[in-house]
């Protein structure tokens, strides 16, 4: 199966200019370990450009543009600027040295404080706004990829604060393992996703999940820290520390806040490693579930005074026993990358109503698709696309 290379495309100007392609890996300068989720963007960001690309879980990235300076940004590493050239194969980032790492003492209820931060982070738009992005879904049954789908999408936000969103799929691809019967609902491999893609989009921008989680949390200790690097950069880190004495499945995580703007830069929520052993089996009709994995990871970029989501990931895993006919581990992963925004006069009448990207099927032009790249595939995904998966019609 032919390998497709995605190359990010921001504006028509970039499309007709002489491009320089760069494919490389981002590494820790001390340990030489790959660094995932590094934000990589152009030094002279245009009004519409949100982010150039993000390194994948193996630290790899691909980007294309006319010769420009690239900025590499990660909360745990010093910012790094690179003159773009196709001769670069490895980019090394230096871990940040913090000259200040103080715990914040405050009489304010941390739930009240974080609720205010979340509200500040919700962007209010003066006009209807179009966001262009790339999203992908993957399904694993018995620890094996059974479906992988991705799409170039547009979604639209109604003017105002935290207003309704609507989705339109521009182009898409849907791969499936030919050994499964995708039309047989009794075959576990026919499952597309446990999440509605419409809800993923809405959740990314409404921050409803984070708001409810903070409001209802009872088994966390909130540890606030101000961290200042030797370059003068300052962030606030809020750690969500689960109660070690609680014998039930708990979440943990962190929020990173810009102390100047009082807005979110990033947050990550996952299962506490010390509490995953307390996960209980849940019976739903003839199906038994036991949670194995949970992750919500969101990154923001402040642009023209607004806090814009640039990356959203949701990943869940279960051990499943389906009426004693099927038993094994299943995993469902959704990723959303946003690379451009622009104001529009009217909201579109045509929108996407299906619940998964896979249902959009395969409908793309290679010429158009080859202009985009947000994050390279993992080796497992690439092997599935090139050697195992079959495209739907």
pLDDT in tens, 34-82: 998 888 887 765 434 555 788 888 899 887 765 578 889 888 899 898 8
Domain range list for the chain: 12-96, 100-362
- Give the Cβ contact number of residue 386 at 10 Å: 14
CA angle 313, 150, 347 (to 5 degrees): 85
CA–CA separation, 365 vs 310, rounded Å? 25
Overall average pLDDT of the 2-6 stretch: 29
User: pLDDT tens digits, residue range 319-371?
Assistant: 988 777 778 999 999 999 887 788 888 888 778 888 999 999 998 887 666 66
CA–CA separation, 14 vs 93, rounded Å? 27
What residues contact residue 22 under an 8 Å CB cut-off, 6+ apart?
A: 62, 63, 64, 70, 84, 85, 86, 88
Fold classification of 12-96 is Immunoglobulin-like (2.60.40)
User: pLDDT tens digits, residue range 252-309?
Assistant: 999 999 999 999 999 999 999 999 999 998 888 778 889 999 999 999 888 777 888 8
């Amino acid at each position: 199966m032919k390998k497709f290379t995605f190359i990010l495309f921001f504006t028509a100007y970039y499309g007709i200019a002489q491009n320089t392609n760069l494919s490389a890996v981002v590494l820790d300068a001390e340990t030489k370990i790959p660094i995932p989720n590094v934000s990589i963007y152009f030094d002279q960001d245009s009004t519409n450009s949100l982010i150039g690309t993000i390194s994948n879980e193996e630290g790899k990235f691909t980007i294309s543009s006319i010769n420009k300076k690239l900025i590499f940004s990660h909360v745990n590493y010093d910012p790094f600027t690179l003159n773009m050239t196709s001769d670069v194969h490895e980019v090394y980032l230096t871990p940040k040295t913090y000259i200040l790492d103080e715990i914040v003492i405050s009489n304010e209820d941390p739930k009240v404080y974080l609720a205010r931060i979340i509200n500040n982070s919700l962007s209010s738009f003066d006009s209807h706004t179009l966001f262009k992005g790339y999203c992908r879904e993957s399904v694993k049954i018995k620890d094996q990829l059974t479906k992988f789908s991705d799409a170039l999408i547009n979604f639209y936000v109604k003017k105002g604060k935290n207003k309704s969103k609507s989705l339109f799929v521009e182009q898409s691809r849907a791969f499936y393992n030919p050994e499964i019967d995708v039309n047989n609902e009794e075959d576990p491999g026919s499952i597309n996703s446990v999440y509605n893609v419409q809800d993923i989009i809405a959740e990314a921008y409404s921050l409803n999940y984070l708001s409810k989680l903070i409001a209802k949390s009872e088994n966390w200790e909130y540890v606030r820290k101000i961290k200042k690097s030797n370059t003068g950069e300052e962030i606030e880190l809020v750690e969500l520390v689960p109660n070690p004495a609680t014998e039930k499945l708990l979440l943990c995580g962190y929020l990173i806040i810009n102390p100047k703007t009082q807005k979110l830069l990033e947050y990550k929520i996952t299962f506490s490693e010390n509490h995953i052993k307390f996960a209980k089996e849940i019976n739903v009709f003839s199906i038994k579930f036991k949670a194995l994995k949970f992750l919500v990871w969101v990154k923001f970029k402040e642009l023209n005074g607004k806090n814009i989501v640039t990356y959203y990931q949701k990943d869940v895993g279960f051990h499943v026993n389906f009426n004693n006919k099927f038993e094994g581990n299943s995993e469902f992963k959704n990723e959303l990358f946003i690379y451009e925004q622009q104001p529009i006069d009217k909201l579109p009448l045509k929108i996407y109503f299906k619940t998964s990207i896979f249902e959009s099927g395969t409908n793309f032009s290679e010429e158009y698709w080859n202009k985009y790249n947000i994050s390279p595939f993992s080796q497992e995904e690439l092997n599935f696309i090139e050697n195992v998966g079959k495209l739907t019609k």
